[in-house]
Structure 1
Amino acid sequence: MPANKTYRVVIMHLDKGYAEPVSFGDTKELLGGSHLAAALYDKYGLPNEHWDHPDQPLIFAIGPLVGYFPLMSKVVCAFKSPYNDQYSESHAGGRLALAMRFANADAILFRGRAKTLSAAVIGARRLGLVDVHYLKGMDVFSTGRSLRKTIEGFSGHRSLMRIGPAGENLSGYACINVDTYRHFGRMGSGTVMGVKNLKAVMVQGDESIPLPEGKAYQTLFRDIYKQMTATHMMSKYFDLGTPQNLIPLNELKSLPWRNLQATHDSGVEGISGERFAKDLLLRNTACSGCPVGCIHIGMLREMFSDEHRFKYHQVAYDYEPIFSVGSMIGVTDASGVLSIMDEVEKVGVDVMSAGVAMAWATEAFQKGIITEEQTLTPLEFGYVEGYKKAVAHLGYAPNEFYMRLANGALKAAAHYGGEDFACVLGQEMAGYATGEVFFAQQAMSFRHSHLDAGGYSYDQTHNEQDADKAIDYLIKDEQGRCVLTSMVACLFSRGVYKNDVLSKCLDSIGYPELAGKLDTIGADIQKLRWQMRFKTGYDPVQTKIPKRFLEIETWKGKIDPQYLDTLKHRYGQALMEIGRS
């Protein structure tokens, strides 16, 4: 089966209300996903304009293996971030990747600003905008219910992205909800939709794709599928899932508690993966094209205010949400954690940023830096009802305090005070207080994500202080992940999808030129992405790591400020060599 020579990109001009499919790039050179998205931003982006310029593109891109192999189930969303006004990415699963494949769209790019609050419909046979002004201010769940009834056709073969009030109110970390249980979470992609007057995007998979002929593809597919399902390699993601990390990280003194005032607490049992599985787990589900089923759905049971009837919600959980609205804010009851997650889902904010921002606000409240007049509710570590109200305020931004906090804990701290204990590493920290290598990595890496490279893993397995060795690891690990995110493989599958396997996959569906480049193309993707980041104003020299990160203790002992500073300096130098060469 010969591959297409170019990628098919659907460009929707929101201000004009029409879309046009265009051919873009060379499939012998561009890998898809992160690679394709960066190339599209290089062509269509406005690096010197502010993030909210109407013609800044919002890009969604998939890779060549989507629809052909298991766990090729992610989509890359690229944009100029409202959080830092620099080029960034976010990744999500759900049904979106397959819906785009069956809509004959390798990428979707939005430009302009719709005249009224709108929903975009993208399919192989249908392209257009729908006026949904009546959804203004509506939460994520209500928006989904309304649009599924309003936009007819292809039920079960479509993917629905939408934003909540946080995106409309231009929060710095509003997310895009994808098919209820997945998200483009970090760096404010939902706010980019909000500023474009785009409440939702429905992608309809209304076309078919041919499968490769011959036994080579079939044999390769069966072998990969077997590795994904018949071995223990992926079983941990289905069983307890990522929440199994709570207890081990707590024992390693690497789990942030109460705004990182501690890295270990006996209360972890109440929010452990085991406790969630025993008391709250309802079912597992999976992204389309994935046989593993790592998405854990918990059942939340709450009493109505009249105390005579119960309401039930299904809420997806995994490690990062449990850390951010659990240990980070001192909540040690699994049901309480799930109820805060439910509020986070409604308003449409990134759960990690919301939890860490509330943790800063709680400590600032305790120290008298801010008052209840500003927070509108008492904030106390472990106080679930207060946090549920605070989450709603983050989404709806009813006063100046929440407008500032919704744009980042460090930005709020810069105004009110308390910068030393704002747990921000480029953006609000991920849940790994593992040590100096991870702190430097998240603070300075491409999208300030714990998934940009495996710094958290490196800290857990290396006790020596060798900055050159650590930086070399981070750079090379990022290159490998660039290949996977360009293929749009779920990173859980990285143990299976080594370069030799990926090369066979590409060759089997008609991409022999790309198949022969995988050992070098990772560095090319890495370079292009960093070039986009530097073009939009990134300066690693300006990176600051708040004092709180220097005050903790991990399994290796106290954090070494000098070693952390050395890592930061040399990592910055390495990134500048990549991005400015």
Structure 2
Amino acid sequence: MTDTAFRVCIVHLDRDKGEIISFGDKNVHIGGSGLAAALYEKFGLPEEPWSHPDQPLIFAIGCLTGYFPLMSKVVCGFKSPHHDQYSESHAGGRLALAMRFAGYDAIVVRGQATVPVAVHVASKQIETADANYLWGANALTTGRVMRRAFPGASGHRSIIRIGPAGETLSAYACINVDTYRHFGRMGAGSVMGVKKVKAIVVSGDGDQDLPGTDSKAYAKLFKRVYKDMTATEMMSKYHDLGTPGNVTPLNELKSLPIRNLKQTTDPEVEKISGEAFAKDLLIRNTACAGCPVGCIHVGLLREQFQEEHRFQIRQVAYDYELIFGLGSMIGVMDASGCLALMDEVEKEGLDAMSTGVALAWATEAYEKSLLTKEQVEYDLAFGNVAAYKEAIWSLGHAKNEFYADLAKGVKHAAAKYGGEDFACVLGQEMAGYVGETFYASQSLSFRHSHLDTGAYGYDQKEHAKDPEKAVKYLVDDERERVLLTSLVSCLFARGVYKKELLAECLEAVGLSELAGNMDQAADAMQRLRWKVRLSTGYEPEKTTVPKRCMEVETWAGKMNPGYMNAVRQGYIKAIRELGKEEPKPAPESDS
């Protein structure tokens, strides 16, 4: 191992063994997003389907993980069941610090187990255990069992697992991380499922020395960063109402998707606002390991058993994306009802946003008689919590032909049953925002996520419809985010982790070369990600924006299709340029 090489743990499921390798260079690949793309470039099979047993499932942290506050995320890289191309998902929880204390910059899972297994990775131990008895169990039950099966490393142990949706290979099965966090988007859970891995337990049971040579300077810098994260108003908003605080302003701006985007505002939304959740349901805040902010809001769900006088009480995490997907998008204007649906989604191991958009499309298709009662089985109607709970179970278990089709993605289901005009898919099922720049970004961006760029805010701040300016913003903003998701920082901290501070942090951990080369490294990793994505078959020209998205009207007026199409065409050109192969040097002449 060199001082700047990554230490990578490879788990060979087909051989039931582990391998530790030295890989890459922190000054080049940084970690996280960049490291995951580089590992896929080495171990991935771009021309084979996502379900090929030898496709790698990659978990990567960065060179600042665990050393500074909010450097607490993990990037999961994989070939996605949603579109059969390379993608990423990001998650917090305890996993990043568990990997750091176990001594690994990345964990790569290869091959396929013969029977369902749980994988245990520790600093001096890599093993698999039979988990056949858990196949079919929900994600929350699996977590409880794993805690007993692999005790120890208290506080430094992370348990990631899948629910039934990952076993039935849903296109939007998630990986549950330590109960309240998720690799949610693009179907990472099914990559675990196809490998027959029910859970992965990472025990951070190793020693971790302070970085660099001057521990006093490091401690002083850490204290300053900690203060910026906790004593400024910039971060307090994430602890107080958190992202649920977006519900009311977006509703007032006529920019909140409601009832499958038939509406963008409704007075009833106040019942599912961040304020309503905080007043009636919030019981505590919690945080990812290494984060002093505490943005995870946990609500109390109290449900009565049918025809009995007994109640079941559970703690369920909520945020804006979940309130949008399992609240406004399906017309559920009751905070407790939203929480109940969030709980069902957690058990099945489904992505909340994709599930909500799928149910919203199915509800409208059922209203329009494109679907029959025999197919949907329940009285799907906007606001019908009881029917949606049953439908979520059916979706996770792929109960019949219709739910199996819907589990392949809304676009797939709409192509078969009709209703493509109101199938709200932007690369994957849409996030909870509206606007031309946002539509262009999510439909085309690297992981089809609202977090790939800040386009959802750009539409609210920039009123001039300038396609060139918008495309430049999308490309530049993505590059800045790639730097943070390679280090790997929570994106909530992007207001604190400016370039100057990041350079100081890198110097403190002995990475002076990277500190002086951040922009070039971020540019290289942005290009590498696109190169890998395009190598797996991505054709941005074939992406679309559904008709329903362009029919809405916000506070800024009607959508402008000419502007949106110009942004999309400019962004497509930029993506092609970013991902093109670098020219190889000509061979030297013998003369």
TM-score, normalised to structure 1, is 0.99
2:316 maps to a residue whose letter is: V
Q: In 2, distance between residues paired with 1:117 and 1:344?
A: 22
> Structure 1 residue 57: deviation in Å?
0.4
> Structure 1 residue 327: deviation in Å?
0.3
* Match of residue 453 from structure 1: 453
Q: In 2, distance between residues paired with 1:438 and 1:254?
A: 11
Q: Any idea what SS the aligned residue of 2:27 has?
A: coil
Report Cα offsets for 1:302-325 as digits up to 9, x if no partner.
101243111101000000000000
Q: Any idea what SS the aligned residue of 2:226 has?
A: helix
Aligned residues: CA RMSD: 1.0
> Structure 1 residue 3: deviation in Å?
8.2
* Match of residue 242 from structure 2: 241
Q: Any idea what SS the aligned residue of 1:188 has?
A: helix
> Structure 1 residue 388: deviation in Å?
0.6
Q: In 1, distance between residues paired with 2:429 and 2:331?
A: 17
* Match of residue 323 from structure 1: 324
* Match of residue 478 from structure 2: 478
Are the equivalent residues in 2 in contact too, given 1:33–1:486 (CA < 8 A)?
A: yes
Segments of 4+ moved more than 4 angstroms: none
* Match of residue 66 from structure 1: 65
* Match of residue 87 from structure 2: 88
* Match of residue 303 from structure 2: 302
* Match of residue 273 from structure 1: 274
Q: In 1, distance between residues paired with 2:320 and 2:89?
A: 18
1:475 maps to a residue whose letter is: V
Are the equivalent residues in 2 in contact too, given 1:154–1:204 (CA < 8 A)?
A: yes
**1:48-63 maps to which residues of 2 (within 5 A)?**
48-63=47-62
Q: Any idea what SS the aligned residue of 1:301 has?
A: strand
Are the equivalent residues in 2 in contact too, given 1:154–1:206 (CA < 8 A)?
A: yes
Q: Any idea what SS the aligned residue of 1:489 has?
A: coil
Are the equivalent residues in 1 in contact too, given 2:160–2:199 (CA < 8 A)?
A: yes
Report Cα offsets for 1:48-95 as digits up to 9, x if no partner.
111011110000000011121000000000000000000000000000
2:7 maps to a residue whose letter is: R
1:144 maps to a residue whose letter is: G
| 2:509 aligned with 1:509 | yes
| 2:469 aligned with 1:469 | yes
* Match of residue 587 from structure 2: none
**1:171-186 maps to which residues of 2 (within 5 A)?**
171-186=170-185
Are the equivalent residues in 2 in contact too, given 1:158–1:203 (CA < 8 A)?
A: yes
**1:135-150 maps to which residues of 2 (within 5 A)?**
135-150=134-149
Point out where structure 1 has 5 or more consecutive residues left out of the alignment: none
1:27 maps to a residue whose letter is: K
* Match of residue 28 from structure 2: 29
Q: In 2, distance between residues paired with 1:355 and 1:27?
A: 39
Q: Any idea what SS the aligned residue of 2:431 has?
A: coil
> Structure 1 residue 156: deviation in Å?
2.6
Are the equivalent residues in 2 in contact too, given 1:3–1:509 (CA < 8 A)?
A: no
Instruction: Please say which of residues 474-483 and 19-28 is displaced more in the overlay.
Output: 19-28
* Match of residue 198 from structure 2: 199
**1:376-391 maps to which residues of 2 (within 5 A)?**
376-391=377-392
Are the equivalent residues in 2 in contact too, given 1:3–1:510 (CA < 8 A)?
A: no
Report Cα offsets for 1:168-203 as digits up to 9, x if no partner.
000000000000000000000000000000000000
Instruction: Please say which of residues 148-157 and 495-504 is displaced more in the overlay.
Output: 148-157
Q: In 1, distance between residues paired with 2:495 and 2:193?
A: 37
Are the equivalent residues in 1 in contact too, given 2:427–2:443 (CA < 8 A)?
A: yes
**1:56-455 maps to which residues of 2 (within 5 A)?**
56-212=55-211, 213-433=214-434, 435-455=435-455
2:79 maps to a residue whose letter is: K
Count residues in correspondence.
579
1:50 maps to a residue whose letter is: P
Are the equivalent residues in 1 in contact too, given 2:482–2:522 (CA < 8 A)?
A: yes
1:48 maps to a residue whose letter is: E
Q: In 1, distance between residues paired with 2:445 and 2:475?
A: 10
* Match of residue 496 from structure 2: 496
Are the equivalent residues in 2 in contact too, given 1:499–1:519 (CA < 8 A)?
A: no
2:436 maps to a residue whose letter is: E
> Structure 1 residue 550: deviation in Å?
1.2
Report Cα offsets for 1:502-549 as digits up to 9, x if no partner.
111011011111111112222111100000110000011111111111
> Structure 1 residue 490: deviation in Å?
0.3
Q: In 2, distance between residues paired with 1:280 and 1:202?
A: 31
Q: In 1, distance between residues paired with 2:457 and 2:206?
A: 42
TM-score, normalised to structure 2, is 0.97
Report Cα offsets for 1:81-134 as digits up to 9, x if no partner.
000000000000000000000010100001100011000000102101111100
Q: In 2, distance between residues paired with 1:153 and 1:219?
A: 32
Instruction: Please say which of residues 302-311 and 163-172 is displaced more in the overlay.
Output: 302-311
1:310 maps to a residue whose letter is: F
**1:553-564 maps to which residues of 2 (within 5 A)?**
553-564=553-564
Q: In 2, distance between residues paired with 1:231 and 1:542?
A: 44
Q: In 1, distance between residues paired with 2:272 and 2:107?
A: 39
* Match of residue 539 from structure 1: 539
> Structure 1 residue 271: deviation in Å?
0.2
* Match of residue 9 from structure 1: 8
Q: Any idea what SS the aligned residue of 1:297 has?
A: strand
Are the equivalent residues in 2 in contact too, given 1:174–1:348 (CA < 8 A)?
A: yes
Q: Any idea what SS the aligned residue of 1:210 has?
A: coil
Q: In 1, distance between residues paired with 2:466 and 2:140?
A: 48
Q: Any idea what SS the aligned residue of 1:10 has?
A: strand
1:542 maps to a residue whose letter is: K
Q: In 1, distance between residues paired with 2:302 and 2:3?
A: 50
Are the equivalent residues in 2 in contact too, given 1:3–1:511 (CA < 8 A)?
A: no
Are the equivalent residues in 1 in contact too, given 2:27–2:521 (CA < 8 A)?
A: no
Are the equivalent residues in 2 in contact too, given 1:95–1:179 (CA < 8 A)?
A: yes
How has the CA–CA distance of structure 1 residues 27 and 271 changed in structure 2, closer, same or farther, with 3 Å as cutoff? same
Instruction: Please say which of residues 205-214 and 182-191 is displaced more in the overlay.
Output: 205-214
Are the equivalent residues in 1 in contact too, given 2:531–2:579 (CA < 8 A)?
A: yes
